[in-house]
Amino acid sequence: MLQENLKSQHIVDSIFWNSKHSYRVRPTIKDDRLPLSEFNAKEYLEKTQLVQQQDAFLKHKFNQEASDNIGMTRDIPDTRHSQCHSVHYDVDKLPLASIIITYHNEARSTLIRTIASVFNRSPDSLIAEVIVVDDSSESVDDGTDLMKIKKLRILRNEKRQGLIRSRVRGANMATGDVLVFLDSHCECNVGWLEPLLQRVAENRTRVVSPIIDVISTDNFQYIAASSNLKGGFDWNLVFKWDFLTKNELNTQLNNPTSPIKTPVIAGGLFAIDKSFFEEIGKYDTLMDVWGGENIEISFRIWQCHGSLEILPCSRVGHVFRKQHPYTFPGGGGNVSKYFFSRNTRRAAEVWMDEYKMYYYATVPIARTVHYGDVSSRLELRNKLHCKPFKWYLENVYPELKIPSSEDLQLGFIKQSDLCIDTMGHSKNEIVTVFACHYTGGNQDWSLTRDKKIKHFDLCITLVDEHPGSTLLLQDCHPDDTKQNWLYSNNKFMNVEDNELCIDSADFELRGLNVQTCEFNKDSQVWDFIISKQGVPSL
């Protein structure tokens, strides 16, 4: 096992008190290694440079050539609201942060740029260390070559542990008062750290996340994300972004710097008081690899007397890949789905009480997945006097609709290898088709007794009664016959005009539409695959 390269470091802690509790701050550090500015990034990156005509997307599922050409540092746009520029933080009174980055077979250019953005866009006095956990990557040198950098600590797992256990290992080694978790393909923006530390310092039970900007997988363009979103999920426990409620939006309009309460966090990037992290049980380390851990820790934080916030004045860019660039332990194409089902089932069994029946109704295959022993997590819940899931639904996430007992059948609507998908769209937006993933979420539909095609509280609606009319998602209304569809002979015919059928022709341009019903037209043939008959009632 690699040893942390700390022989040349001597740390002496001083103590400072704030109104809440004491923090160790301003360590005196003797570290003879190189500052980041003197690190030979060119030499580091040359070792894994692509050869001519090598597929730039093959290994990492993003454009490695574009990433490598950027190098270790670059200028990115300041995507904060202008009012954030006038917010003052007393750096001398903020707690010390340990930045924890885990990776497995990450591209060197994205890894070093993540690390560089932390050092270059953070006050040096606020960083205790950057802990990089190599989760048994194929190349040991990706990590060891970074040991020359001052304040950087490298840990290596000789056996693959996954993100969850790797983060816990990094947290256990941390000396800072606040843990800041980052993915290994990020770029921290200007002023990103101070808002996170300020909110945690004011209340140690707050867990805070930056707004996550988008870094393009194609050309690595840095793109500002909306500040009018918060984290949510459906009953399949798949994370999604929700629009702010009207009241929340008004709060943001009046004060664009104000924190946004969020039911769940995306999970990749957040800050938490180290002692609070330990107090509430760190991560569930019997979860495997990653997936669902963000939902579980979000439930736990809220139900066990903490809170979650997104801070508009903290921005971090993130590369969102469309597929995994690595294999999961155990191999096989369905392994990642197995881990996700196992992890979310553990979350449901521990935290959702009687409401877990809706999870199982939405994801019935989860009942076949062995989820292990959760007794220690239930003991933790009891020890911390955590609140019931009913409280969470009523006070934290009232927007999550409980499925209606009027829903006759639950499942997905399939055409070849494509499924009808909301694509995260909301009211008055189009519905389309996307590759079937069989995990529910945006592809969950119910056929109701009153002939509606329903996704939670939205129904597929015929707006204009003529061929070519685009279908929209609209609030379900019992008396609206334009939302009523007769499913017969693998076709969905509109009850209002039974000569019009749901058609996928030209879906890339305008989503699903209606066309004159034709007997042998493939784009009008749909299979409704039932995953659950009826919805249980509490």
Q: What is the CA radius of gyration of the chain?
A: 25
Residue with the bigger pLDDT between 142 and 322: it is 142
* Predicted pLDDT of residue 364: 72
Span 195-221, average pLDDT: 97
| Cα separation, 35 vs 215, whole angstroms | 26
- The domain limits of the chain are 10-319, 407-533
* Predicted pLDDT of residue 478: 82
* Predicted pLDDT of residue 22: 54
Total residue count of the chain as it appears in this document? 538
Write out pLDDT tens, residues 267-318.
889 999 999 999 999 999 999 877 899 999 999 999 999 999 999 999 999 9
Residue 450 has pLDDT above 50, yes or no: yes
Write out pLDDT tens, residues 396-419.
999 998 876 665 577 899 999 999
**Element housing 277 (H / E):** helix 274-279
Q: Supply the CATH classification number for the domain 407-533.
A: 2.80.10.50
Write out pLDDT tens, residues 52-94.
767 777 777 788 889 989 999 999 999 999 999 999 999 999 9
Residue 444 has pLDDT above 70, yes or no: yes
Residue with the bigger pLDDT between 66 and 349: it is 349
Which of 375, 177, 379 minimizes the C-alpha distance to 278?
177
Alpha helices (H) in 90-192, listed in sequence order: 108-120, 141-144, 162-173
Tokens representing residue 208 in the block: 């805070």
- Strands (E) in 244-346, as ranges, are 260-261, 270-273, 307-319
pLDDT class for 10, splitting at 50, 70, 90?
very low
Whether the model pTM is above 0.75: yes
* Predicted pLDDT of residue 239: 92
| Cα separation, 80 vs 211, whole angstroms | 9
Residue 5 has pLDDT above 60, yes or no: no
| Cα separation, 73 vs 89, whole angstroms | 25
Residue 139 has pLDDT above 70, yes or no: yes
Cβ count near 10 (within 10 Å)? 11
* Predicted pLDDT of residue 532: 58
Residue 219 has pLDDT above 60, yes or no: yes
* Predicted pLDDT of residue 325: 52
pLDDT class for 154, splitting at 50, 70, 90?
very high
Pairing between strand 127-134 and 152-156? parallel
CATH architecture of 10-319: Alpha-Beta Complex (3.90)
